[in-house]
Amino acid sequence: MNSVRREFLKGLWDEHPTFRLLIGMCPTLAVTTAAANGLAMGLATTFVLVCSSVMISLMKNLIPKKVRIPCYIIIVATFVTIADMVLAANFPELHKVLGLFIPLIVVNCIILGRAEAYASKMPVFYSFIDALGMGLGITWGLTFLGVVREFLGMGTVFGAQILPATATSWVIFILPPGAFFTLGIVVGAMNQINYALARRKRERATGSITAHQAVQG
């Protein structure tokens, strides 16, 4: 059970696809202009990732090694089409905003990456857990970027006015440069947090050793 938890949690922080592995940058930078867009993109990616990981894991012994990438693409494209059509039918406005980036999930390196590195080698249940963790990682990542950019760029979060409407908004944060600035600062902050965590862990480890030695002595 412990390993299941680890496989699930790694996508949320230690191997976070957008902030740690820095893959899938195209939708990350392009659609996170608002929190709702980031959330929708994250959930669509999660859906495709989970379904295709499970499917690829089920079919891993059927797929010939030499043509595995085209096979993965076909499987991924199937679920992307489903996601695209569901969004178009139920959330036409959101679909218009996300536009081209929904079909582009097909070539999102997160999905092919998990298929190649994980689902094609691991049992179905673990592939499902891995894909779910990674998907939720992308979802919180894109939503977080969206919240920050929308708040700074328009003074709203999920469309709700947070800052007074008269406050000067920093237009740059909903423009492409803002995506790079925000992403860079978040990645830097995350590294800083990880350094601090590692340092504390090391200190605790050495601390317990000296305590142990003291008891022995």
Applying CB under 8 A, the residues found at the interface with other proteins are 168, 170-173, 175, 177-178, 181, 184, 188
Smallest separation, CB 175 to other proteins (Å): 6
Smallest separation, CB 173 to other proteins (Å): 8
The residues that bridge with 157 in the sheet, in sequence order, are 160
Cβ proximity to other proteins: between 71 and 172 the closer is: 172
Smallest separation, CB 154 to other proteins (Å): 13
Tokens standing for 209? 């050793």
180 neighbors 13 (Cβ within 8 angstroms): no
From CA 216, how far away is CA 77, in angstroms rounded? 63
Tokens standing for 135? 């998907």
Cβ proximity to other proteins: between 177 and 217 the closer is: 177
Cβ proximity to other proteins: between 80 and 179 the closer is: 179
Cβ proximity to other proteins: between 184 and 207 the closer is: 184
Contact partners, residue 21, CB within 8 Å, separation at least 6: 15, 113
